[in-house]
Amino acid sequence: MIIEKIQTSHKQYSIQYGREKIAFSLSFNHRKSLKINVHPDKTVTVVAPKNTSLENIILRIKRRAFWIIKQKNYFERFQPLPSKRLYVSGESHYYLGKQYRLKVRKDSGQGVKLIGKYINVYTPNVHDTNEVKKLLQGWYRKHAESIFAQRLLFCHEAIKRIKIGQPPIRILHMKKRWGSCSKSGEILLNTELVKAPLHCIDYVIIHEICHLKIRPHNKEFYKLLTRCLPDWIQRKEKLERVVI
């Protein structure tokens, strides 16, 4: 196995595993255990506890190499990923798992309305795509705040038998994950999650609630998750197909 550092401003590395090269981004924080993520765009990120030696990190990646390659091959089925949004009429956008067409309409006021199969954005400046983007993102966030709060109540009630208090939630834009759980017990949810079906939103919320009881992704965690949500694997696979 060969390790090679890629010369960029970030901590990027790659290792050779058989015929496969695994490139990964490495960062450090105050976490207790090393975490490896394979993302839908097939990038690999590694977050390690501070002061962990590179030698130990490489050893862990080597042990998980087969799984990493398997995950990358899985996501290969969904390539290519959607092109960058231009925020012009005719584009496809998603909300709660359904596809809608964007219509930018000239109007003296500003606003967004979902009507039939269209997301209508009203603005005096129909050619200002930055303004259209801002209005649409604001609409998504407003609905995300309402829907996530409702689903949190639903999910917490559904799994009350595991006796975990209802956590606070915070909504923000995240590039690489749908949700996470802070050390303080706060659940963080990606604004983009509002584009997924409700049963996928519930999966993310329940996943993070389970982390309040068991932090690492170990056998006990997945045992608890299965107890709370027996079909979580199917929901996870559906979420991985969500186009954002």
Q: Render the chain in DSSP notation, one character per residue.
A: -EEEEEESSSEEEEEEETTEEEEEEEEEES-SS-EEEE-TTS-EEEEEETT--HHHHHHHHHHTHHHHHHHHHHHHTTPSPPPPP---TT-EEEETTEEEEEEEEE-SS-EEEEETTEEEEEES-TT-HHHHHHHHHHHHHHHHHHHHHHHHHHHHHHTGGG--PPPPEEEE--SS-SEEE-TTSPEEEEGGGGGS-HHHHHHHHHHHHHHTT--S-SHHHHHHHHHH-TTHHHHHHHHHT---
Q: How many structural domains are present in the chain?
A: 2
- Residue 39 corresponds to which amino acid? H
Examine residue 137 and state whether it is found in any structural domain, yes or no.
yes
| Contact (Cβ atoms closer than 8 angstroms) between residue 196 and residue 96 | yes
Q: What is the pLDDT of residue 148?
A: 97
Same domain, residue pair 41 and 157: no
CA distance 196 to 237: 12
Q: What is the pLDDT of residue 145?
A: 97
Q: Which of 33, 52, 76 is the last residue of a domain?
A: 76
pTM: 0.74
Same domain, residue pair 185 and 108: yes
Note down the domain range covering 31: 2-76
Same domain, residue pair 64 and 119: no
Q: Return the CATH number at 215.
A: 3.30.2010.10
Same domain, residue pair 154 and 227: yes
Residues in the chain: 244
pLDDT along the chain (244 residues), means of 10: 42 89 91 87 90 92 92 71 82 95 96 97 96 97 97 95 92 89 91 96 96 92 96 92 72
Beta-carbon contacts of residue 178 (< 8 Å; ≥ 6 apart): 189, 190, 192, 193, 196, 204, 239
